[in-house]
Amino acid sequence: MSITRVANVAIDDGTHRDARVRRRIDSVGTWGFAAPILAVFLILFLIPLARSVYFSFTDYTGYSTDVNFVGFSNYARIFSDTSLISSLSFTLLFAVATTVLVTVAAIPLALVLNRAFAGRNLVRSVYFFPAVPSAAILGLVWGFILNPLGSGALNTMLRSVFGVGPVPWLADSHLAQASVIAVSLWSQTGWHAVLYLAYLQAIPAEYFEVARIDGASRSQQLRFITLPLLAPAMTVSWLLLMTGGLKVYDLPFTLTGGGPGFATRTLTQSIIQSGIARGDYGTASALAVLFLLAVGGVVLVQLRFSRRMEGRFS
Amino acid sequence: MKQRRSLVTSVVMLLLSAVVALPFYYIVVNTLKTQAETLASPLGLPSSLNLDNYVTVFRDTPVVRSFLNTLYVTVLSIGLMLVIGSLAAFAVVVGSKKLAGILGVVLAVAFVVPGQATLIPQYEMFAKAHLVDSLNGLVLIYSAGSIFCYFLIVGYMRTLPLEIFEAARVDGAGPWRIYYAIVLPLIRPILVTVGVFQTMWVWNDFLLPNVFISSPTRQTLVLQVYTAVGQFTTNWPTFMTLTVVVLLPMLVFFIVMQRHIVSGLVAGSVKG
What average pLDDT score do residues A125-142 get? Answer: 88
* Contact by Cβ (8 Å): B222, A134: yes
**Does residue B272 lie in a domain region?**
no
Question: Domain for residue B20, yes or no?
Answer: yes
Q: What is the mean pLDDT of residues B81-97?
A: 88
Q: What is the pLDDT of residue A96?
A: 92
For residue range B168-216, list pLDDT tens digits in order: 878 877 788 888 888 888 888 889 988 988 888 899 899 999 989 888 8
Cross-chain CB nearest to B9 (options A29, A115, A127): A115
What's the confidence (pLDDT) of residue A62? Answer: 67
Domain boundaries defined on chain A: 84-141+168-313
pLDDT for residue A19 is more than 80:
no
CATH class belonging to A84-141+168-313: mainly alpha
Residue A4 has pLDDT above 70, yes or no: no
Residue A222 makes CB contacts below 8 A (sequence gap 6+) with A111
Mean pLDDT of B238-265: 84
Picking from B55, B79, B99, the residue at the C-terminal end of a domain is B55
Mean pLDDT of chain B: 84
Residue A39 main-chain phi, psi, to 5 deg: -65, -45
Which pLDDT tens digit goes with each residue over A57-99?
Answer: 887 776 667 777 777 777 888 888 888 888 888 999 999 999 9
* pLDDT tens digits for range B28-39: 888 887 777 777
Verify whether the Cβ–Cβ distance B144 to A299 is below 8 Å: no
More confident residue, B259 or B74: B74
User: Are residues B11 and B94 part of one domain?
Assistant: no
Choose between A230 and B270: higher pLDDT. Answer: A230
Q: Are residues B75 and B188 in the same domain?
A: yes
Q: Kindly state whether residue B252 falls inside one of the protein's structural domains.
A: no
- The helix/strand/coil state of A308 is helix
Whether residue A161 is predicted with pLDDT greater than 90 in this model: the reply is no
Q: Are residues B128 and B159 in the same domain?
A: yes
Range of the domain at B149: 61-231
Task: Say if the Cβ atoms of A153 and B109 lie within 8 Å.
Answer: no
pLDDT of A18 over the 60 cut: no
Residue B259 counted as domain residue: no
Decide if pLDDT at A153 tops 90.
no
Write down the H helix ranges in A222-261.
Answer: 227-229, 231-247, 250-256
Q: Are residues B205 and B90 in the same domain?
A: yes
User: How far is CA A41 from each of CA A268, B77, B158, B226, rounded to the nearest angstrom?
Assistant: 22, 16, 22, 31
pLDDT class for B79, splitting at 50, 70, 90?
A: very high
Domain boundary among B15, B34, B55: B55
A304: CB partners within 8 A, 6+ apart = none
- CA-CA distances (angstroms) from residue B55 to A65, B38, B223, B231, B245? 51, 18, 21, 17, 11
Closest-CA distance, B27 to chain A, in angstroms, reads: 7
Q: Same domain, yes or no, for B168 and B209?
A: yes
Question: B142 lies in a domain?
Answer: yes
Instruction: Flag whether residue A294 sits within 8 Å of chain B, measured between CB atoms.
Output: no
Give the CATH number, domain containing residue B84.
1.10.3720.10
Does residue A273 have a pLDDT over 50? yes
User: Is residue B159 situated within a structural domain?
Assistant: yes
Residues of B in contact with A298 (CB under 8 A): none
One-letter amino acid for residue A61 of the chain: T
Q: Do A29 and B120 touch (CB under 8 A)?
A: no
Return mean pLDDT, chain A.
80
Q: How far apart are CA A36 and CA B231, in angstroms?
A: 42
| Tens-digit pLDDT profile for residues A176-216 | 889 999 999 999 998 999 889 888 888 888 888 888 888 88
Q: Is A219 helix (H, G, I), strand (E, B) or coil?
A: helix
Query: CA–CA separation, B42 vs B56, rounded Å?
Result: 20
Closest CB to A14: pick one of B100, B151, B258: B100
In chain A, residues 47-86 whose CB comes closer than 8 Å to chain B? 47-49, 51-52, 55, 62
The average pLDDT across A255-276 equals 83
Same structural domain for residues B17 and B71?
Answer: no
B201 lies in a domain? yes
Same domain, B79 and B187: yes
Q: What is the mean pLDDT of residues B16-24?
A: 86
**What pLDDT sits at residue A240?**
84
Q: Using one digit for the tens of pLDDT, what is the confidence trace for A245-258?
A: 888 898 889 888 87
pLDDT tier at A103, thresholds 50, 70, 90: very high
CB–CB contact A5 B222 (8 Å)? no
Same-domain pairing of B137 and B217: yes
Total number of domains constituting chain B: 2
Q: What is the ipTM of this complex?
A: 0.84
Q: Are residues B115 and B193 located together in one domain of the fold?
A: yes
Which residue type, as a one-letter code, is found at position B252? V
Could you tell me if B151 and B201 lie in one domain?
yes
Pick the more confident residue, B200 or B48.
B200
